[in-house]
Amino acid sequence: MSLKEEMKEKASQSKVAAVKMKNLSTAKKNRILETIATALEKKEEEIIKVNKKDLDLAKEKKISSAFIERMTLSKERIKSMVKGLRTVASLPDPVGGVMEEIIRYNGLRIKKVRVPLGVICIIYESRPNVTCDAAALCLKAGNAVLLRGGSQAFNSNLLLAKIMIEAALSEGMPQGGIQFIETTDREAIKELIRLDRFIDVIIPRGGEEMISNIKANATVPVISHGKGLCHTYVDKEANIEQASEICFNAKVQRPGVCNAMETLLVHKDIATDFLPQMVKRFEKEGVEVRGCIETQKLIPSIKIATDQDWETEYLSLILSIKIVDSLDTAIEHINQYGSFHSEAIISENKDRAEQFLSRVDAASVFWNASTRFSDGGEFGLGAEIGISTQKLHARGPMGLQELTSYKFIIYGNGQIKK
C-alpha cells in the first residue's frame, strides 16, 4: 500500500469512528480516560526508558538543548500528564451543551447546541506530552483524532499512543477513535493536510516553518498554533521587587516553551533602578542579554540588539531588552513585533494597566503575572490542544469547548414560511 493510500485509509477509519465517538456517554468517556491514566502510571518505567532512547539519539544529532528539554519525559512530567487526563475526565462534557435558546414570534423554539468537530488531525514536533493531552481532549469532546508526532520523539510518541489506544479500546472506544501515524516520512503530512473529505480540522504544533507550510498547502481548515514571541513591559510605576521575580520567572523557569518571555520592555523612568540588578540576575543564570543602545549605555557589557532580535522567538536563554519612553511606545512595539500569543505589564497603576490590557493585541494579556501561566492547565482547562494565535473559531489555550462546533436544533408544531 502506498503512503498516500495508507493516509487515506487511516483518515477514512477516523471518519467512521467519529460518527460513533460523538455518541459516547459522558460516563464512558470518563471511564476511558481513567483507564488510560492508570495504564500510563503502570508503564512509567517503560515510558522513561523508551524516551531515553529518543533523547540519546537527539544528543548524537546535536539537537538544541531547548528542543531536548521539550522532548524529555521525567517521572514528574508523566505524573503531570496523568493528572491532566484525570482533570479532563472531571470537567463538564461540552457535547450537547445548550449555548443559547430562543423562542421566535411564530412559536419556533431554537436551540444552539455544542457538537464535536469530527476528525481532528494533530501534527506536532518535539513534545511527547502532546500525544496524551491531544488524545484526552479530543476524546472528551467526542472527536476522533489522528496523531502525527515528530521524528525526534517518535519512539516515545508511539509507545504512549499504543498504551492509550489499548486502554481505550478495552473500555469500548470505537476502533479508530485514536490513531497514531506510524511513519516519520514528511510526505505523510502532505497527504494528511489535503484529505478534506475525511478530516475536519488540522491543528499544527511546532516550528514556524512547519506551521507556515501546512497553512499554505492544506485544503483542510487549519487552526494554527503560531510562535510565542512574548513580551513583559515593566511600567514606570512597577513594584521593582515584584517585577524582578515575574521577569525572572517568565524568562528562566522554562525558556524553551512558547509562553516564555523573549523581549523585556522597560520604561525609561525606572530603567536605572531596575535594569542593572535585573540583568545581573539574568546573567548569573546563564542568560545572554541583548539590548537597545539605551540599555547598553546602562550596562556596557551586553550585546547590541538588532532589528532581527525584536522579531525572534529564541526558545533558549537569550533575552532582548528595550528601554521605551512611554506606555504608548511599549504597546506599539508589542503590536508590531508580537505574535498575538501572551503579553504582560507590571505596574501598580490600574489605569495604565487597563490601557495595556485593552490595547495590546494578543490572545492572553497579563497584569502583574508571568506569561508562563498562559497554559490550558493553568487556565483550568485540564490540558490544551495548543494555543491558537489566530482569531477565527478559537483563540488562546484551546480546551474542550474549542474542540466543538455547534448546530441549531429547531422545534416546531406545524409552522410554515409565508
3-state secondary structure 276-333: HHHHHHHHHCCCEEEECHHHHHHCCCCEECCHHHHCCCCCCCEEEEEEECCHHHHHHH
Give residue 126's pLDDT: 77
Short-list 165, 213, 208, CA closest to 187: 213
Residue 214: C-alpha distances to residues 187, 329, 396 (Å): 12, 34, 20
245 and 347, same domain (yes or no): yes
52 found inside a domain: yes
Q: What is the CATH number of the domain that holds 276?
A: 3.40.309.10
Short-list 279, 265, 246, 287, CA closest to 373: 246
Short-list 277, 188, 242, CA closest to 202: 188
Residues 165 and 162: their CA atoms lie apart, in Å, by 5
Query: Do the Cβ atoms of 257 and 364 come closer than 8 Å?
Result: no
Short-list 177, 201, 236, 247, CA closest to 404: 201
Give residue 206's pLDDT: 82
Short-list 88, 66, 139, CA closest to 318: 66
pLDDT digits (tens, 9 = 90+) for 1-42: 899 999 999 999 999 999 999 999 999 999 999 999 999 999
pLDDT digits (tens, 9 = 90+) for 149-201: 999 999 999 999 999 999 999 999 999 999 999 999 999 999 999 999 999 99
Give residue 353's pLDDT: 98
pLDDT band, residue 285 (cuts 50/70/90): very high
Query: Which is higher by pLDDT, 254 or 67?
Result: 254
152 and 28, same domain (yes or no): yes
8 and 74, same domain (yes or no): yes
Short-list 380, 320, 385, CA closest to 147: 385
pLDDT band, residue 377 (cuts 50/70/90): confident
164 and 238, same domain (yes or no): no
Q: What is the CATH number of the domain that holds 197?
A: 3.40.605.10
Domain count, the chain: 2
Give residue 392's pLDDT: 84
Q: Taking the complete model, does pTM exceed 0.85, yes or no?
A: yes
**Bridge partners of 114?**
406
205 and 334, same domain (yes or no): no
Residues 6+ apart with CB under 8 A from 378: none
163 and 24, same domain (yes or no): yes
390 found inside a domain: no
E strand or H helix at 36: helix 26-42
pLDDT digits (tens, 9 = 90+) for 330-347: 999 999 999 999 999 999
Short-list 262, 287, 391, 266, CA closest to 337: 262
The pLDDT of residue 63 is above 90: no
107 and 155, same domain (yes or no): yes
The mean per-residue pLDDT over the stretch 269-297 comes to 97
283 and 406, same domain (yes or no): no
E strand or H helix at 144: strand 144-148
203 and 68, same domain (yes or no): yes
Residues 64 and 67: their CA atoms lie apart, in Å, by 5
| One-letter amino acid for residue 161 of the chain | A
Give residue 273's pLDDT: 96
393 found inside a domain: no
Domain region containing 299: 230-373
Grid coordinates given for 84: 491532566
- The bridge status of strand 261-267 relative to strand 230-234 is parallel
Burial of 352-371, coded b for 16+ CB within 10 Å and e otherwise, reads bbebbeeebebbbbbebbbb
Give residue 391's pLDDT: 84
91 found inside a domain: yes
92 and 219, same domain (yes or no): yes
Q: Which long-range contacts link 70-73 to residues 24+ away (Cβ below 8 Å)?
A: 70/126, 70/127, 70/256, 70/257, 71/126, 71/127, 71/128, 71/152, 71/153, 71/156, 73/47, 73/48, 73/128, 73/129, 73/156
pLDDT digits (tens, 9 = 90+) for 68-127: 888 999 999 999 999 999 999 999 999 999 999 999 999 999 999 999 999 999 999 878
Lowest mean pLDDT segment, chosen from 26-30, 61-65, 183-187, 287-291: 61-65
